[in-house]
């Protein structure tokens, strides 16, 4: 299964495309969609939408895994990320690809086995699972790969299979 992981943002949106066949997983491609700061925000959203549409066309994923929003102290940033996430979800829906959403704690649990794992632990395990020599850059792409791994590991669990038969 080809899984596209997305770490949404409006300055940097990370993506990671993996191929997962049971326990065998490999990284196919990763990177980021970027928009320059201090530019018109609606224009930035258009760039994200257009680039995401092109990425989906090129990558041909069978599933998209995206991180759910976590609102910290900066509500304005959270609102802007939510708008970015909205145009990403629209592009994915228009492409007809199933969307799976994961909370940060779910990603940590699926990748490391511990929901309160540190970012370093998640990145270390991501490298081990994919047999990588170095951590992909930028960090947003590495985060997106972990989100894709979360879906790969979650979707193959016995519980997920049982829920599909209901």
DSSP-assigned letters across all residues of 22-55: TTEEEEEEEEEEE--TTS-HHHHHHHHHHHHHHH
Compute the C-alpha angle 61/64/67, nearest 5°: 150
Calculate what percentage of the chain has a pLDDT beyond 90: 80
Task: Quote the pLDDT of residue 157.
Answer: 55
Question: Would residue 51 show up in a list of annotated catalytic residues for this protein?
Answer: no
Fold classified for 2-164 = Nucleotidyltransferase; domain 5 (3.30.420)
pLDDT surpassing 50 at residue 161: no
Contacts of 11 (CB under 8 A, 6+ apart): 34, 35, 37
Task: Quote the pLDDT of residue 162.
Answer: 45
Contacts of 132 (CB under 8 A, 6+ apart): 27, 126
Task: Quote the pLDDT of residue 23.
Answer: 79
Higher pLDDT pick, 61 / 75:
61
Question: Would residue 62 show up in a list of annotated catalytic residues for this protein?
Answer: no
**Chain centre to alpha carbon of residue 7:** 4
Residues in the chain: 166
**CB hemisphere CA count around 112 (13 angstroms):** 17
Q: Given 7, 51, 62, 68, which residue is catalytic?
A: 7
Q: Given 54, 62, 67, 101, which residue is catalytic?
A: 67
Q: Given 40, 51, 140, 143, which residue is catalytic?
A: 140
Task: Quote the pLDDT of residue 133.
Answer: 94
Taking the complete model, does pTM exceed 0.85, yes or no? yes
Task: Quote the pLDDT of residue 164.
Answer: 47
Q: pLDDT band at residue 166, thresholds of 50, 70 and 90?
A: very low
Contacts of 144 (CB under 8 A, 6+ apart): 5, 6, 7, 14, 15, 16, 30
User: In this structure, are residues 158 and 33 in contact, taking their beta carbons and an 8 Å threshold?
Assistant: no
The pLDDT of 87-115, averaged and rounded, is 96
In the chain, where are the structural domains located?
Answer: 2-164
- The neighbour count for residue 55, using CB atoms within 10 Å, is 21
Dist. CA 76–CA 98, nearest whole Å:
29
Question: Would residue 140 show up in a list of annotated catalytic residues for this protein?
Answer: yes
């Amino acid at each position: 299964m080809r899984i596209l992981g997305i770490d949404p943002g409006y300055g940097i949106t990370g993506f990671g495309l993996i191929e997962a066949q049971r326990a065998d997983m490999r990284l196919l491609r990763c990177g980021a969609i970027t928009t320059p700061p201090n530019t018109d925000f609606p224009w930035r959203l258009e760039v994200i939408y257009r680039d995401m549409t092109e990425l989906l066309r090129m990558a041909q994923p069978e599933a998209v895994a995206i991180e759910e929003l976590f609102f910290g102290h900066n509500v304005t940033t959270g609102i802007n990320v939510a708008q970015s996430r909205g145009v990403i979800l629209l592009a994915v829906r228009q492409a007809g690809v199933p969307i799976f959403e994961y909370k940060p704690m779910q990603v940590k649990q699926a990748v490391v086995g511990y929901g309160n794992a540190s970012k370093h632990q998640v990145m270390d395990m991501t490298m081990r699972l994919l047999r990588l020599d170095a951590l992909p850059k930028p960090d947003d792409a590495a985060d997106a790969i972990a989100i894709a791994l979360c879906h790969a590991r979650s979707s193959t669990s016995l519980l997920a299979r049982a829920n599909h038969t209901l």
